[in-house]
Structure 1
Amino acid sequence: MYVPSLKTNTHRYVILTLFALINLHASEPTQTAVLFDMSSAEAINSSETENGASVSIEDGALKVSFDKSSSYPGVNLRPAGGAWNLSEYGGVEMTFVNNGPEKYGIGLRLDNPGNWKNNPWNTEVAWVESGQAKTIRVTFGQSYGNKGYALNPSQVNNIKILVDRPRQAGSISVQSLRAIGEPVTYEKAAAQPDQPVKAKQLKPSFNSPSISGELIDLSKKGSLSDYRTSNSSIKIVEDDSSYALEMDFGKGRGYPNVQFPIPDGGWNLEHFAGLQIVLKNNGDHKVRIGVRTDNPGNWKESPWNTDMHHIGPGETKTIQTVFGQENGAPSYPLNPVNISGIQVFADNPSKAGSIQIMDLRGYGTAEQREAKEALSTPEDRNVPAKLPSWIGKRPPVEGDWVMTLNENFDEKKLNLSLWTPRLCWDGPAKGETQRYLEENVTVQDGFMKILCEVNPGHQYNDPKLDSRVYATGAVTTLDKWTQRYGYFEARLKPPTARGLWPAFWLMPDRGKDSGLDIWQRRDTGAKNGKGMEIDIFEHLTEWGGGRYNIATHWDGYGSDHKQWGSSHTYYGPTEDGFHTAGLLWEPGKLTWYLDGEKKGEWENERIADVPAYIKFTIQMGSWATKNVDDAALPQYFEIDYVRAWQLKEHQSLAESRK
């Protein structure tokens, strides 16, 4: 193992001041250690290039050259001894110059041994203008300025320098690469789902717009350098003395976006209801556009609101967002006193396109915002649950109710007359990292348990189906029990290992007698009655305890997909970690409950009127982080009971066991 020699450097005090100003939350460095002499052949001999990059020594620096690329050209630098021992330092910093013709996103990544798919690294990215010199620093245990993978500083086996999908060929000159600073320690992240979490208080910004709320002045053509883009290009266009910001993007390049300039310290928009933005689709096809507004904070806590809208070819649309909501549904309780980011993005465009942004301003009043508050707040995570007496015995509202399902898992094995421990299609799903196994759904000691484990193999152990690294389980009542309307309830305990996505949900089923195939029977569209996916309890374990998602999805999962819901629904702890999730489904109305408290409600004529069956799953990948805590596995998703009730007046609409 290579231990770098200690060197002093008077220039480091200038660098320290810079890092203090940009608030990288690192300990003040007191020592540095040069990892490579960038003016010598040592750096070349220790390098391995990828994705079309090349390296050379020029003017006393390591020159990394690259072509236009849709991937990430770069170079890996490795120590002669197999790994650096940097345990006496707080991180690594690199000073470089952008020699290219455009702004580039330059990444610095520190690796530990292990499968790269499990993200055993820390990384930071800096956007650098042409000709600009920059210093970028990676602090051990952080990525993108937030807490990240717990990197072992004594086992740094690779340092990667990369460029974020350059649109033009160019180069950077790396002048120095060094370990720097004192070791940084962090409090261990909560592993238990019910540990209270304190909400972060934001310092109000002094930057308030004029009474008109205007946030950009597009007549200032020279201000384009104040904008940031990803997978897109921008320009100012003028028409009859009016100005617009035009964002052009290609197809299939993730989320091309433009990020608007924000004054130091953020915008203070506390006197407005939300944002108003005017967009025009210059393209010849429909695009799905998102408007995102951010608060400062850990990105893993999703401190933002995002409104999504379809805009037809040639259409001009005025979008009004509301702080604390997403498309009219309660969301992260965004605090308008400090808006740290505003962006417009295209959602995975299937074709190249162009969007004009003609206006961006605060609109409305604070009173309009406050009239639409969510039913829960982050502070609810600190208040222990107090279960009402009706839980498990009856629905939360009065009525002539009849119990239609009472599954307590009292038998020694799964009741196959009610449950099927597999999905109705083979799979596995694209983008997910788990395979399903029937044997991973068991009944033990009065609980149904769904096992999640590291267990590579094929979906359902069928060599004809795709393989995955992880194995979990899925169980449904398809073809065995469905119900339209009523109250559905389950007492459950989600797993806690990072990277899991347990869910309790309903899917439509028009029945075997409908004459439809299995896909048409389960379609979430309205052609054969209004079908709808209804998510009663979805939880990403990376959120920690006290937060879950409620949602509905309809009109398929493609370009016509629509949804309503909130991933910022909060609840307090219980002594044993079990929680009781419920859904009241009425004609034209859905109401969600957790531990007896109303957490969300939605009234709309589009509410499903098609019978639904029950699903319990543990998914991985896709929406959930791919940074799975393998060491914490295996774990279980435990379900104590599942119950349902139906009003007598609706019993003629219900379908029970067959």
Structure 2
Amino acid sequence: MKRSMLIACCLAAAFSTPLPAADEPAAGPTKSLLLPEGQTDVDMERFAPSSSQVTMSPDGKGALMTIAVGNEQYPGVHFKPEDAWDLSAFGWVEATFTNLGTKPSMCALRIDGQSAGGEWGSNTESVTVKPGETANAKVYFGYAYGGKPATKLNQSAISKVVVFCNKSSEEQKIRIDSIVAGGKTGDAPPVKPENVRVKPVNGVIYDKSVTLKESQTEGKEGAVVAPSTDGIAIEFPAGTAAKWALLKPEIGRWTLVDAYGVEVKFVNTGDQPVRLRVKASSNGGATDVIESEVVAPGASGVVEVPFEPAVPWLGIKDSTKTSWNGVKGTGTGFTSDSVGSIVFSVDGSDKKQSVTIKSVVAGQLSQRPIPDWVGKRPPVEGDWVMTFDENFDKGIDYRTWNVYTENYWDKRSHFSKDNVIVEDGVAKLRYEKKTGFHNDDPSGKKTDYATGFLDTYGKWVQRYGYFEARMKLTKGPGMWPAFWLMPDRGLAAGPQWKRADTGNSGMEFDIMEHLGRWGRYRFNIALHWDGYGKGHQQTGSQTIYYQPDKDGYVTSGLLWLPGLAVFYANGREVLRWETPRISNVPSDIMFTNVTGGWDNNGIDDSMMPDDFIIDYVRAWQRKDLASDLDGYKLPQGVEPGPAAPTASPAASPVPAKTE
């Protein structure tokens, strides 16, 4: 999340649910955008380079894009029509690129326009072109990044085509040979089998009600697998060498986003004791290997495989640059939306071992106890004092909270105080389809969706300490709720962009950032610093898994000390980073419930209203770290209102609470 607007270009191939088309659509009429009918030369005036690194020149019937070495992350060119293109009769746009440089180049094609709701949107695909070779990038309307469903553009008013490459240490020369619209309205990209997603009914991957095909099981290194009506029989031969068996989807990958882990039930059908080992493998990596207890011949056993790793993610110590990998052997890369197999193995033995798998079910696992300290104190010893305690027992206190600000994240919605609902001891940031004006201001932007917002910007800040909130996440696809901290240097620091700058020793802490596409058991933790421009740096993990408490909540916490940030989920440490670059700037607390994000899917109106529920928010400060920078910052004489104070004190105060 960012308080300033950032349009990021995500170029990695994405994986999606099954797509409606199985084969490449048949060819049909086309329309050249680069060289319209009746035009013999490319109109170079219609190209607008993204920076001085990029120059354009004519080259035969095409246009040569030369990209000098420089700092721009995605150098390229905007190609605009005299008037908006009406491509409503077509299904896709395809560009042909020839690489005249000396190194492979990633060439991306982006189609820009507005969605049906009037928001800016784009569809993007990319291709890597080797030196001296020609390749095509094809964008289907409504799809992006490897055929993943994306923004549905108003095809009757396409505003521009953008061609860009990745940053390179060498000059790049890419000839744009053609840009053509073709196909017919509604065309969809062809299905790639590996992109198909199979969602097991009620999480049941296998039990006696499931009939497996022969291709769904496989033995390795001598293991023999034999599915039957009684279960999946596996025989592991004698020997100390590793051997294993796999259970796989019929096609593509399983999506297990509605699960925290996998439970396997089995019977020891051999004459030797067995300790069954199980893991789940995905496109992003595998879970930990979990072992059963030793099971005697004829007895039954259970293995519970959580998606959450035993060893929390550990950042590269003392690093000051972007790195998402962390220390090897910590955290997990497992992605529950792309599970390719369940893997079974046993310890080596001088005798053969046999088991029969009775069931494999994805879902909740045995409930883990929440440590007693959660909600009562920080997770480490020290002389701590509670400095913030919001339980939402009454209305929103405007001496502490703002409900209005700019919406930098979600252009389809507006913020409204009516969508911050305090009832039954919780605050609900409600996202719903409701037409209204941003910040309830009739002169503001009018949109068809409303949502709630809370932050303490300009009213309460703290540098260092422990911050914690108990939350229940949204349920629908496309949602993007988050709990985070942002720098606030105070009114004296100047305009908002200076006050909230993540450079100059500041930092954005994303304590809990959830994308609806991932399912309720996974979220992101991230740290961003050095601004959001060319110098932007970031680290963290997008694969933080948690098991909700008995009431369906997650309690997320951040221990922020000089040179150290440690994150918690339901009392378990999930991420740690030690570096001198950790922020030393006072920060405010934020809660947002918008839609979108970098790896999300479309929203579903039928699942609205969709509430991001906050039970409590608490903060503690260690006495030796406390300073005058901490605490309530509403200037004396300034009336507490629904937005952050930005001007001189008002004449008289107004009631601070809304009931």
TM-score (ref. length: structure 1):
0.51
Aligned residues: 444
Answering whether residue 130 of structure 2 is matched by residue 148 of structure 1, we say no
Structure 1 position 391, deviation (Å): 1.2
Structure 1 position 30, deviation (Å): 10
Distance 1:176 1:99 in 2: 23
Task: Report the counterpart of residue 611 of structure 2 in structure 1.
Answer: 636
Structure 1 position 475, deviation (Å): 1.0
Task: Report the counterpart of residue 587 of structure 2 in structure 1.
Answer: 612
Distance 1:532 1:105 in 2: 32
Answering whether residue 379 of structure 2 is matched by residue 418 of structure 1, we say no
- For 1:378, what is the secondary structure of its paired residue? coil
Answering whether residue 470 of structure 2 is matched by residue 491 of structure 1, we say yes
Answering whether residue 324 of structure 2 is matched by residue 331 of structure 1, we say yes
* Corresponding letter in the other structure for 2:582: I
For residues 132 and 421 of structure 1, do their structure 2 counterparts lie closer, same or farther at Cα, with a shift above 3 Å needed?
closer
- For 1:542, what is the secondary structure of its paired residue? helix
Structure 1 position 54, deviation (Å): 3.2
* Corresponding letter in the other structure for 1:187: V
Are the equivalent residues in 2 in contact too, given 1:118–1:627 (CA < 8 A)? no
For residues 100-150 of structure 1, give each alpha carbon's deviation from its aligned partner in whole angstroms, at most 9, with x where no partner exists. 9999979899xxx966969899x9766789999999999999855455369
- For 1:416, what is the secondary structure of its paired residue? coil
Distance 1:453 1:615 in 2: 20
For residues 191-240 of structure 1, give each alpha carbon's deviation from its aligned partner in whole angstroms, at most 9, with x where no partner exists. 97655485416899xxxxxxxxxxxxxxxxxxxxxxxxxxxxxxxxxxxx
Are the equivalent residues in 1 in contact too, given 2:506–2:529 (CA < 8 A)? yes
Answering whether residue 357 of structure 2 is matched by residue 374 of structure 1, we say no
Distance 1:540 1:620 in 2: 8
For residues 607 and 25 of structure 1, do their structure 2 counterparts lie closer, same or farther at Cα, with a shift above 3 Å needed?
closer
Answering whether residue 401 of structure 2 is matched by residue 401 of structure 1, we say no
Structure 1 position 445, deviation (Å): 1.9
For residues 377 and 55 of structure 1, do their structure 2 counterparts lie closer, same or farther at Cα, with a shift above 3 Å needed?
same
Are the equivalent residues in 2 in contact too, given 1:500–1:628 (CA < 8 A)? yes
Distance 2:183 2:569 in 1: 54
Are the equivalent residues in 1 in contact too, given 2:506–2:583 (CA < 8 A)? yes
Task: Report the counterpart of residue 200 of structure 1 in structure 2.
Answer: 282
Give unmatched runs, 5+ long, in structure 1.
1-22, 37-42, 57-64, 85-91, 205-321, 334-368
* Corresponding letter in the other structure for 2:559: L
What is the aligned counterpart of 2:372 among 381, 389, 392? Answer: 389
Distance 1:377 1:180 in 2: 28
Task: Report the counterpart of residue 494 of structure 2 in structure 1.
Answer: 517
Answering whether residue 448 of structure 2 is matched by residue 474 of structure 1, we say no
For residues 505-524 of structure 1, give each alpha carbon's deviation from its aligned partner in whole angstroms, at most 9, with x where no partner exists. 12233456xx4435387344
What is the aligned counterpart of 2:621 among 628, 631, 646? Answer: 646
* Corresponding letter in the other structure for 1:582: G
Give unmatched runs, 5+ long, in structure 2.
1-14, 39-60, 66-76, 165-172, 200-253, 263-279, 287-314, 338-361, 634-659
Distance 1:564 1:101 in 2: 34
Are the equivalent residues in 1 in contact too, given 2:465–2:622 (CA < 8 A)? yes
- For 1:393, what is the secondary structure of its paired residue? coil
Distance 2:318 2:563 in 1: 21
Answering whether residue 539 of structure 2 is matched by residue 565 of structure 1, we say yes
Structure 1 position 537, deviation (Å): 1.6
Distance 1:195 1:536 in 2: 19
Are the equivalent residues in 1 in contact too, given 2:64–2:175 (CA < 8 A)? yes
Q: % of aligned pairs identical?
A: 32
Are the equivalent residues in 1 in contact too, given 2:514–2:524 (CA < 8 A)? yes
For residues 169 and 135 of structure 1, do their structure 2 counterparts lie closer, same or farther at Cα, with a shift above 3 Å needed?
closer
For residues 138-195 of structure 1, give each alpha carbon's deviation from its aligned partner in whole angstroms, at most 9, with x where no partner exists. 99998554553699xxxx999xxx9957965645899999999999985359697655
* Corresponding letter in the other structure for 1:608: S
Distance 1:478 1:429 in 2: 15
- For 2:418, what is the secondary structure of its paired residue? helix
Structure 1 position 393, deviation (Å): 1.8
Distance 2:372 2:426 in 1: 22
Distance 1:569 1:182 in 2: 26
* Corresponding letter in the other structure for 2:403: P
Distance 1:615 1:480 in 2: 12
Structure 1 position 548, deviation (Å): 2.5
Distance 2:143 2:545 in 1: 28
For residues 439 and 101 of structure 1, do their structure 2 counterparts lie closer, same or farther at Cα, with a shift above 3 Å needed?
same
For residues 104 and 388 of structure 1, do their structure 2 counterparts lie closer, same or farther at Cα, with a shift above 3 Å needed?
closer
- For 2:512, what is the secondary structure of its paired residue? strand
For residues 440 and 194 of structure 1, do their structure 2 counterparts lie closer, same or farther at Cα, with a shift above 3 Å needed?
farther
* Corresponding letter in the other structure for 2:514: H
What is the aligned counterpart of 2:438 among 459, 463, 486? Answer: 459
* Corresponding letter in the other structure for 1:393: K
The RMSD of aligned alpha carbons is 5.9
Aligned positions of 1:58-97 closer than 5 A: 70-71=77-78
Are the equivalent residues in 1 in contact too, given 2:319–2:579 (CA < 8 A)? no
Answering whether residue 511 of structure 2 is matched by residue 536 of structure 1, we say yes
Structure 1 position 539, deviation (Å): 2.2
What is the aligned counterpart of 1:447 among 413, 426, 432? Answer: 426
Are the equivalent residues in 2 in contact too, given 1:591–1:600 (CA < 8 A)? yes
* Corresponding letter in the other structure for 2:385: V
Structure 1 position 443, deviation (Å): 0.7
Are the equivalent residues in 2 in contact too, given 1:500–1:624 (CA < 8 A)? no
For residues 142 and 393 of structure 1, do their structure 2 counterparts lie closer, same or farther at Cα, with a shift above 3 Å needed?
same
Are the equivalent residues in 1 in contact too, given 2:335–2:543 (CA < 8 A)? no
- For 2:477, what is the secondary structure of its paired residue? coil
For residues 602 and 100 of structure 1, do their structure 2 counterparts lie closer, same or farther at Cα, with a shift above 3 Å needed?
closer
Structure 1 position 588, deviation (Å): 2.5
Are the equivalent residues in 2 in contact too, given 1:191–1:496 (CA < 8 A)? no
* Corresponding letter in the other structure for 2:515: L
- For 2:282, what is the secondary structure of its paired residue? coil
* Corresponding letter in the other structure for 2:400: L
